[in-house]
Amino acid sequence: MNIITGGVTAAKGFKAAGLSVGIKNKTDKKDMAMVYSEKPCTTAGTFTTNKVSAAPVKWDRDIVYNSPFSQAVVINSGVANACTGKEGLDACKKEAETVSAKLNIPVDSVLVASTGVIGMQLPMDKICEGINRLPDYLEATKQAGTTAAEAIMTTDTVSKEVAVTVDISGKEVTVGGMCKGAGMIHPNMATMLCFITSDANIDKSVLQKMTSEIVDDSFNMISVDGDTSTNDTALVMANGMAGNDIITDGSEDYNKFYEALNYVFTELSKKIAGDGEGCTCLFEAQVINAKSKQTAKVLAKSIVTSNLTKAAIFGHDANWGRILCAMGYSGADFDPEKVDIYFESEAGKLKIVEDGKATDYSEDVATQILSKNPVTAIADVKDGSAAATAWGCDLTFDYIKINADYRS
């Protein structure tokens, strides 16, 4: 596998575009994006677990699970089209019909996505204007992919893209993606939109199986603020243009493609966690030597979702008791008197807890380690061989500032 620069346009046959149509109040920031494949795509997806799911989530679930293929996705930022009733669903249909007419593809091959303020209806005059304009800007260039990634941002401070290539049955297969997400990020799928494209030839059921498994270990292992969004969507579109033999379950090609897809999902997840609203630091929690993977996952997620721990990371304070406390209320079964805890960053690695008690560590060294970005906390529970990693960020004053005035 080779890591390359790029995003949704890295794979063969994919084009993208982004522009501003004035959805975001008082700004000229880009607020609409489109991704289009020259060929129909095998499609997989995962969606929010929030019972209050947005209209685009309902539309896309139907396309992913019931349509033979997809070929385009149109995204807007600024308005979430959530809690909008029948009018919201009608808006999704209107978007798909407009894309269908403009690109000459079936209505049921069009995916839609929205992110932004909940409870507002989409400004359909602006949305339709954008859909009619976007195809004129579609390009297969890296810059076009970046422009699309910028257009889906809300409180994100940077666009987020990842791409890799991998050899599959003698053919170069590319996997690339973009995502957005900065607030309302919490396991199981958070305010996060993710779009991954590939030129792989792959069986639909296999792609869905891979996507569901990988999301559980990537996007479902990040947290910024503990709020689960109404709009979470992760879509994978594969158009087969690499010309590889079809990827089926259990083959060597399966494992190679799984590794590539897993890398893209995981790196995008870390980019979201590291760009949490107001954050200054990506915070990673590794739990090792647990009795089961599920135990390790529960413990790791509890650490990164602890507001007291997140605040300590912001203050560069080695307040390890908060980590052990978060592990204790997680509901997972472990022996606190066997736990070792380490802090690690580019400044070094330091054991601060051994068998549930503080070591004679240097506070100055701990502060130096915690002053770098990213920071990792490692909890060795010494109860087995399973491991899991979760990602979050520090909790800062700016998080409150951003969310106290989000609609302005």
Q: Which positions are catalytic?
A: 191
206: amino acid identity, one letter: V
- Cα distances from 222 to residues 253, 284, 341, in angstroms, run 28, 9, 20
Cα–Cα distance, 19 to 346 (Å, whole number): 38
Q: Which residues contact 229 (CB under 8 A, 6 or more apart)?
A: 48, 50, 184, 185, 189, 190, 191, 192
| DSSP structural state of residue 121 | P
3-state secondary structure 318-330: CCHHHHHHHHHCC
Q: Which residues contact 177 (CB under 8 A, 6 or more apart)?
A: 7, 8, 161, 162, 163, 194, 195, 196, 197, 264, 265, 268
Tally: H helices and E strands in the chain: 11, 15
Q: Which of 89, 75, 44 is nearest to 205 (CA)?
A: 44
